[in-house]
């Protein structure tokens, strides 16, 4: 097991170098650079900028250098633990990401918890009561949940709240707490607001997870060991929870690590639509504005977390299911 | 038994899910915020300080009482700027606005309008702000600029001519900080204007040539477009300047800020939006620690602001301006519709005008004003008259009658009704009626009549009267006449209007199509003379001589000039490259140069002549203008007063800055 983990960790730098190249190439691929998006922003605002000014800025930002030089410069900074400087915000990228990190993770955790708390019991119920009325109701809700893009759901909720209650439900804080330092009152205020985005973000995941849980469990429930246990007089509740449910968890656990990058990414579109101050809109903006070092840094962290997440999944799986532990194979 | 238990559990769960979803908007959503809209203080009362000539905000009076701030008479200059407004207001309250973040910084420049001289609400003249007077010599070669004696920066430092000379000597003449000189400080021979410091308040600016546009230029010599303002807090900035700071201190600061050179650090420290400790002169300055990249950028009252109202109350009335960062313009619009923004015109979309109007009538929370520009057109078509890729098409595009025919082919009423929601007027891109530059109705509406028959007749005479099987016109050599209208897919370059225009052109037998391009690609095609036609707006009609005016073929905005890239090259290389422009273009260039050397009355004559040539030659086909599409739909809190209902908007005017936000206030 230990050997396996060490092996995986050793590949990490190689993967990261590869990913850093791909990320940089992708971010740099669109035509133009930060300054072309900058001047067209100015143009849309009615103003215009002189050609010499643009050239001076391009030089100042180092955007006149060829791609590989800019890549090496970026990587050199990364190796010193420096995520670089945002062209648009004129601030270190690490600060920008850092100040959004707590809220991003809180929101994602909240959605994650909603998902699991609702989906697992409902999935178990659906499987043990296959083709019952409630099972069908769950199924219908599932299809609706999966089929509705969550940004659409956000828009509908926002419209509903505005049209019938005359309130806007964007953001995560009341105006008076928006900039306040963390305090109990601010946290309570956050809890008041986090529900809507939490449910919006959780709903598709809930539906998907419920279906997977149901299907996994159905596979297990008909196996001979279940019949045997039942025949031996084991209580139904204890039986289901102790054996088939545990096995049905396997495929789910194998994907739990994927939540790690999701915790960090902050659901791009929903967060943008609902104006949530997390990392999603930061990344989207950076990509649109071609603020390449900021976008690159976020994407690279995302890659790193994906790799780590997969590793965590593997480890968890091994802990949960003795059959696939490395030592025994 | 167990079965039942599970059953009950599941029922409870699904019920709570449904209830949760239904109840969410009522119980969990943020409550409507009434508080910030309410003024926090009553009408200004005379302060406790004896025999004070001026009155101040209660907020500041308390600080004075506590000994933390000098009395208001000592904070104001000897001769403060008296700001005219409809009503005398109340102190207090927060002005909530929205922004799209750091790249939307010009939105903040427009609010604070941080300049020595600014434009009047109608945009026709200039008004003194931080400057006391600006007077030209009789021959308009030199200008005497006087500051207000005793005026101070927001931290209490004296504001003197040292702050102008620091800019002139240490910034403008430092090659690292200013690699190129802005045109307005240059003489015709490209040398720098001479500025003499006479005393603590007086500077004399001497040009080698006649220079009549100085006041307009001074009004834009602030932080707009991140240009370096012509007056800087020298005492604060010297610690970051290589000529004054100790090298090791500076190096350390540069390294700490993760910059490569001191100039990057210096340019950051100049920014009033990224450096909260930088002193300012505006009515509101950044709150301690607050920056434009924050979720809410807070600007607070400047206790040393030089403006007072007619009753002697120091301005501004609002305690605070809060700019909320929206990741997306639609979210900002939604917030405005919900009445969460107290005054907002920037980023408000014309498409939301009906819902805003409806909500305003229903709730009474806010009013909607429509502000319009100085003229021009909000959508127009420009043809590339030096197009060479396809010689047949190039010849057509260069033909005035072809352009006039296509102008008549456009059904402008349809564009006005469907895209501009019936607002504005059908017109050519010239100054608006009532403006001294207005060339008259004859030109403003020339060739705007929708007449497909006339268009067809005119096109028939151009040797493209034969038509192919698909009904489109053919050249004499049998090739089909095709035309591409390029749109950069930004507000100013609307693909929707382009589609309507192209359909009208197809009806007169031109196989036209819209090509929507990524903006950078659009600009690079413009530069390389590869655009055939372009849709854009004309927003420089109020300023045909200064700035990056589109009437000047030499402006080369974003790389080149759409209507004659090769003419632009001809001027740029002094005739070595490119193509010599026709007589009317040369005449326009001469008029622009002439206007910079004469007084306002003659400038108006020059401008009218420029517009006449512009329309007669159909350089740019105007469709609809004077609409509210670009920052003209204004949401105003119903309790907010003194906001002008008919303000003239334009970027050089820094609207809403020319509407004097420092005089806006809330009634209880």
Each residue of B254-270: pLDDT tens digit? 998 878 889 989 999 99
- Comparing A323-327, B164-168, B582-586, the range with the smallest average pLDDT is A323-327
**Pick from B3-7, B247-251, B545-549: least confident:** B3-7
Measured in degrees and rounded to the nearest 5, phi and psi for residue B130 equal -80, -25
pLDDT at B218 over 90: yes
Write out the H or E segment, with its range, that includes residue B320: strand B320-325
Q: Is residue B26 predicted with pLDDT exceeding 70?
A: no
Contact B334, B622 (CB under 8 A): no
* Chain B neighbors of A102, CB-CB under 8 A: none
**Of the candidates B272, B302, B296, B270, the residue with the CA atom closest to the CA atom of residue B284:** B302
- What does residue B370 show for φ and ψ, rounded to 5 degrees? -115, 120
Contact flag A195-B651 (C-beta cutoff 8 Å): no
> In angstroms, rounded to a whole number, what is the distance separating the alpha carbons of residues B376 and B543?
10
**pLDDT value at position B597?**
87
**pLDDT (tens digit, 9 = 90+) per residue, B349-398?**
999 999 999 999 999 999 999 999 999 999 999 999 999 999 999 999 99
Which of A33, A38, A43 is the mutation pick for testing B, counting most B CBs within 10 A?
Answer: A43
Which range is most confident: A287-291, B226-230, B383-387?
B383-387
Residue ranges of A 71-130 with Cβ closer than 8 A to chain B: 82, 85, 88-92, 96, 118, 121-122, 124-125, 128-129
Residue ranges of B 595-634 with Cβ closer than 8 A to chain A: 630-631
The answer to whether the CB atoms of B293 and A91 lie below 8 A apart is yes
Distance between CA B348 and CA B113 in Å, rounded?
20
Closest CB to A48: pick one of B7, B322, B557. Answer: B557
CB atoms B335 and A179 under 8 Å: no
Structural domain boundaries in chain B: 54-111+282-371+656-668, 114-271, 377-625
Whether A44 has a pLDDT exceeding 90, the answer reads: no
Are A138 and B539 a contacting pair at CB < 8 A? no
Those residues with Cβ within 8 angstroms of residue B485's Cβ, 6 or more apart along the chain or in another chain? B381, B498, B501, B502, B512, B513, B514, B515, B532, B533, B534, B535
Q: Indicate the range of B342-356, B434-448, B481-495 predicted with least confidence.
A: B481-495
Question: Is residue A114 over pLDDT 80?
Answer: yes
B255 and A CB contact within 8 Å = no
Q: B377-625 has which CATH code?
A: 3.10.105.10
**Is B518's CB within 8 Å of A285's CB?**
no
B576: phi then psi, degrees, rounded to nearest 5: -75, -40
Per-residue pLDDT tens over the stretch B42-98: 444 444 445 578 999 999 999 999 999 999 999 999 999 999 999 999 999 999 999
- B106–A42: do the CB atoms touch at under 8 Å? yes
User: What is the pTM for the complete model shown?
Assistant: 0.83
Q: Which of residues 347-406 of B touch A (CB under 8 A)?
A: 363
Does the pLDDT value for residue A212 go beyond 60?
yes
Per-residue pLDDT, A325: 64
More confident residue, A317 or B152: B152
Q: What is the per-residue DSSP string for A68-112? A: HHHHHHHHHHHHTT---B-TTT-SBHHHHHHHHHHHHHHHHHHHH
Contact present, A290 and B519 (Cβ < 8 Å): no
**Of A149, A137, A276, the residue nearest A204 (C-alpha):** A149
Per the CB < 8 A criterion, the answer to whether B629 and B420 are in contact is: yes
| DSSP reduced 3-state for B511 | strand
Tens digits of residue pLDDT in B113-140: 999 999 999 988 899 999 999 999 999 9
- Cβ distance A289 to B28 less than 8 Å, yes or no, reads no
Q: Which of B29, B298, B333, B347 has the most A C-beta neighbours within 10 Å, making it the best mutation to test the interface with A?
A: B29
Please give the mean pLDDT across all residues of chain B.
Answer: 90
- Which CATH code is given to the segment(s) B114-271? 3.90.76.10
Contact residues on chain B for A43, CB-CB shorter than 8 A: 490, 492, 557-558
Q: Would an 8 Å CB–CB cutoff place B296 in contact with chain A? A: yes
At B545, list the tokens.
């001589």
- In 3D, which of B224, B200, B223, B204 has the Cα closest to residue B214? B204
* pLDDT greater at residue B417 or residue A199: B417
Measure A327 CA to nearest chain B CA, in Å: 39
**Closest alpha carbon to B5 in A240, A6, A197:** A240
pLDDT band at B24 (very low <50, low <70, confident <90, very high): very low
- Is pLDDT above 80 for B491? no
Rg (CA), chain A: 24
B488 → chain A, closest CA residue: A40
Indicate the CATH number for domain B54-111+282-371+656-668.
3.40.190
Q: Highest-confidence range of A271-275, B324-328, B429-433, by mean pLDDT?
A: B429-433
Q: How confident is the model at residue A311 (pLDDT cuts 50, 70, 90)?
A: confident
pLDDT over threshold 70, residue A167:
no
Q: Is the pLDDT of residue B17 over 70?
A: no
pLDDT in tens, B638-664: 999 999 999 999 988 999 999 999 999
Q: What is the DSSP string of B382-431?
A: EE-TT--SSHHHHHHHT-HHHHHHHHHT--HHHHHHHTSTT-SEE--SSB
**In order of start, what are the domains of chain A with their CATH numbers?**
97-290 (1.10.3720.10)
Under DSSP, the state recorded for A172 is S
Nearest to A196 by CA among A276, A105, A122: A276
* Residues B74 and B628: beta-carbon distance below 8 Å: no
Which of B290-310 are b and which e, b meaning 16 or more Cβ less than 10 Å from the residue's Cβ? Answer: bbbbbbbbbbbbbbbbbbbbe
Answer yes or no: do B331 and A118 touch at CB < 8 A: no
Distance from CA of A7 to the nearest CA of B (A): 36
Whether residue B287 contacts residue B273, with contact meaning beta carbons closer than 8 Å, is answered with no
The CA-based dihedral angle spanning residues A235, A236, A239, A245, taken in that order and rounded to the nearest 10 degrees: -160
Give all strands of the β-sheet with B320-325 in edge-to-edge order: B94-99, B320-325, B296-301, B284-286
Band of the pLDDT at B331, cuts 50, 70, 90? confident
> Which pLDDT value is given to residue A48?
63
Q: What is the pLDDT of residues A5-42, one digit of tens each?
A: 888 888 888 988 999 999 999 988 887 788 877 777 77
Structural contact between residues B521 and B558, judged by C-beta atoms closer than 8 angstroms: no
Confidence class for position A172, pLDDT limits 50, 70, 90: confident
pLDDT on residue B500: 96
The shortest CB-CB distance from B2 to any of A171, A173, A236 is to A236
Sequential DSSP letters for B82-137: EPP-SS------EEEEEE--GGGTHHHHHHH---SEEE-TTSSSEEESSEEEEEE-
* Cα distance between residue A322 and residue A306, in whole Å: 24
Burial B593-622 (b: 16+ CB within 10 A, else e): ebbbbeeeeebbebbbbbbbbbbebbbbbb
Per the CB < 8 Å rule, is A121 touching B10? Answer: yes
SS3 state at B192? strand
Mutation target to probe the B interface, by most B beta carbons within 10 A, among A35, A39, A275, A288 is A275
Question: Which of the residue ranges A155-169, A265-279, B203-217, B466-480 would you say has the lowest mean pLDDT?
Answer: A155-169
* ipTM here: 0.80
Q: What is the pLDDT of residue A173?
A: 82
Which of A31, A34, A48, A111 is the mutation pick for testing B, counting most B CBs within 10 A?
Answer: A48
**pLDDT given for residue B338 in this prediction:** 87
- DSSP string for residues in B371-394: -B-SBSEEEEEEE-TT--SSHHHH
Of A92, A272, A274, the CB nearest to B258: A92
Count other C-beta atoms under 10 Å from residue B405's C-beta: 27
Q: Tell me, what's the pLDDT at A327? A: 55
**pLDDT at res. B48:** 47
- Environment class of residue A10 by beta-carbon count within 10 Å: exposed (0-12), middle (13-18) or buried (19+)? exposed
- The mean pLDDT of chain A is 84
Identify the residue among B276, B494, B519, B542 best suited for mutation to test binding to A, counting A beta carbons within 10 A and taking the highest. B519
Mean pLDDT value of segment B24-32? 36
Q: State whether A169 and B271 contact (CB < 8 Å).
A: no
At residue A178, does pLDDT exceed 80? no
Read out DSSP for A206-227? HHHHHHHHHHHHHHHHTSHHHH
CB contact under 8 A, B13 and A44: no
Q: Is the pLDDT of residue B25 over 50?
A: no
B-chain residues within 8 Å CB-CB of A158?
334
Between CA B562 and CA B567, with CA B565 as vertex, the angle to 5 degrees is 120
Chain B: closest CA distance from residue A1 (Å): 38
Q: Check residue B2 and give its pLDDT.
A: 42
Query: Which residues of A are less than 8 Å from B175 in CB distance?
Result: none
Q: Binning pLDDT at 50, 70 and 90, where does residue B101 land? A: confident
Q: Which residues of A touch B492 (CB under 8 A)?
A: 43-44
């Amino acid at each position: 097991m230990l050997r396996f983990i060490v092996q995986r960790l050793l590949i990490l730098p190689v993967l990261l170098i590869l990913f850093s190249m791909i990320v940089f190439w992708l971010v740099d691929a669109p035509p133009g650079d930060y300054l072309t998006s900058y001047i067209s922003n100015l143009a849309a605002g009615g103003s215009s900028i002189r050609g010499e000014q643009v050239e001076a800025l391009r030089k100042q930002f180092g955007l006149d250098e060829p791609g590989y030089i800019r890549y090496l410069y970026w990587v050199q900074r990364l190796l010193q633990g420096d995520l670089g400087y945002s062209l648009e915000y004129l601030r270190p990228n690490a600060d920008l990401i850092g100040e959004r990190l707590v809220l991003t993770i809180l929101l994602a955790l909240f959605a994650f918890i909603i998902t699991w708390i609702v989906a697992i019991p409902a999935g178990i119920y659906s499987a043990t009561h296959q083709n019952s009325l409630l099972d069908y109701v769950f199924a219908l809700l599932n299809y609706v949940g999966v089929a509705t893009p969550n940004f659409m759901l956000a828009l509908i909720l926002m419209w509903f709240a505005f049209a019938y209650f005359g309130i806007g439900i964007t953001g995560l804080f009341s105006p008076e707490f928006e900039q306040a330092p963390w305090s109990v009152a601010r946290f309570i205020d956050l809890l008041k607001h986090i529900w809507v985005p939490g449910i919006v973000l959780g709903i598709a995941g809930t539906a998907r997870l419920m279906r997977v849980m149901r299907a996994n469990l159905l596979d297990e429930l008909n196996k001979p060991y279940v019949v045997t246990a039942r025949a031996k007089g084991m209580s139904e509740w204890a039986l289901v929870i102790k054996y088939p449910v545990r096995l049905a968890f396997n495929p789910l656990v194998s994907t739990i690590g994927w939540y790690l990058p999701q915790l960090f990414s902050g659901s791009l579109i929903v967060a943008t639509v609902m104006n949530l101050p997390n990392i999603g809109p930061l990344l989207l903006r950076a990509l649109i504005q071609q603020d390449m070092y900021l976008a690159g840094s976020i994407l690279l962290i995302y890659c790193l977390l994906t790799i780590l997440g997969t590793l965590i999944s593997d480890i968890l799986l091994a802990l949960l299911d003795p059959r696939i532990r490395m030592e025994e194979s | 038994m167990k079965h039942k238990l599970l059953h009950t559990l599941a029922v409870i769960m699904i019920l709570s899910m449904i209830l949760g979803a239904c109840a969410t908007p009522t119980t969990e959503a943020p409550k409507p915020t009434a508080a910030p809209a309410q003024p926090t203080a009553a009408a200004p009362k005379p302060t406790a300080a004896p025999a004070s000539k001026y009155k101040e905000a209660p907020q500041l009076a308390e600080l004075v009482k506590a000994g933390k701030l000098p009395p208001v008479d000592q904070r104001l200059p000897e001769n403060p700027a008296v700001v005219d407004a409809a009503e005398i207001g109340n102190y207090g309250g927060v002005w909530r606005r929205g922004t799209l973040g750091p790249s939307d910084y010009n939105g903040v420049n427009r609010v604070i309008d941080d300049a020595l001289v600014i434009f009047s609400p109608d945009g026709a003249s200039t008004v003194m702000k931080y400057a006391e007077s600006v007077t030209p010599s009789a021959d308009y070669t030199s200008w005497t600029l006087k500051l207000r004696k005793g005026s101070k920066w927001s931290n209490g430092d004296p504001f003197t001519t040292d702050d102008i000379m620091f800019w002139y000597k240490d910034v403008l003449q430092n090659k690292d900080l200013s690699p190129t000189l802005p045109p307005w400080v240059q003489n015709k021979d490209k040398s720098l204007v001479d500025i003499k410091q006479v005393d603590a308040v007086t500077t004399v600016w001497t040009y080698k040539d006649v220079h009549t546009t100085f006041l307009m230029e001074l009004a834009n010599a602030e932080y707009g477009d991140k240009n370096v303002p012509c007056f800087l807090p020298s005492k604060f900035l010297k610690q970051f300047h290589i000529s004054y700071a100790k090298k090791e201190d500076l190096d350390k600061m540069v390294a700490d800020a993760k910059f490569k050179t001191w100039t990057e650090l210096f340019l950051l420290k100049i920014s009033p939006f990224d450096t909260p400790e930088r002193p300012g002169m505006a009515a509101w300055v950044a709150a301690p620690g607050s920056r434009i990249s924050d979720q809410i950028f807070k600007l607070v009252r400047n206790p040393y602001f030089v403006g007072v109202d007619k009753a002697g109350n120091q301005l501004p009335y609002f305690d605070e301006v809060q700019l909320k960062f929206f990741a997306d313009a639609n979210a900002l619009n939604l917030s405005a519709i919900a009445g969460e923004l107290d005054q907002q015109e920037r980023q408000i979309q014309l498409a939301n005008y009906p819902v805003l109007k409806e909500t305003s009538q229903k709730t009474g929370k806010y009013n909607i004003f429509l502000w319009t520009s100085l003229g021009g057109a909000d959508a127009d078509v420009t043809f590339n008259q030096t197009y060479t890729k396809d010689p047949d098409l190039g010849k057509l595009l260069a033909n005035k009658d072809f352009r006039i025919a296509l102008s008549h082919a456009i059904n402008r009423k349809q564009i006005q009704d469907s895209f501009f929601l019936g607002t504005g007027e059908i017109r050519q891109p010239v100054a608006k009626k009532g403006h001294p530059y207005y060339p008259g109705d004859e030109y403003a509406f020339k060739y705007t009549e929708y007449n497909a028959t006339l268009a067809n007749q005119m096109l028939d005479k151009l040797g493209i009267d034969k038509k192919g099987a698909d009904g489109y016109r053919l050249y004499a050599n049998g090739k089909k006449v095709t035309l591409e209208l390029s749109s950069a897919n930004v507000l100013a370059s609307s693909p929707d209007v382009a589609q309507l225009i192209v359909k009208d052109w197809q009806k007169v037998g031109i196989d036209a199509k819209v090509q929507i391009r990524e903006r950078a690609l659009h600009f690079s095609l413009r530069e390389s003379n590869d655009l055939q036609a372009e849709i854009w707006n004309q927003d420089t009609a109020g300023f045909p001589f200064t700035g990056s005016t589109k009437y000047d073929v030499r402006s080369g905005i974003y790389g080149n000039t759409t209507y004659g890239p090769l003419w632009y090259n001809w001027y740029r290389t002094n005739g070595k490259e490119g193509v010599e422009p026709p007589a009317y273009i040369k005449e326009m260039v001469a008029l622009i140069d002439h206007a910079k050397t004469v007084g306002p009355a003659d400038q108006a004559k020059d401008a009218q002549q420029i517009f006449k040539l512009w329309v007669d030659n159909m350089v740019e086909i105007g469709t609809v203008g004077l609409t509210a599409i670009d920052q003209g739909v204004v949401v105003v809190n119903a309790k907010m007063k003194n906001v002008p209902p008919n303000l003239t908007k334009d970027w050089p005017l820094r609207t809403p800055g020319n509407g004097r936000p420092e005089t806006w206030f809330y009634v209880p």
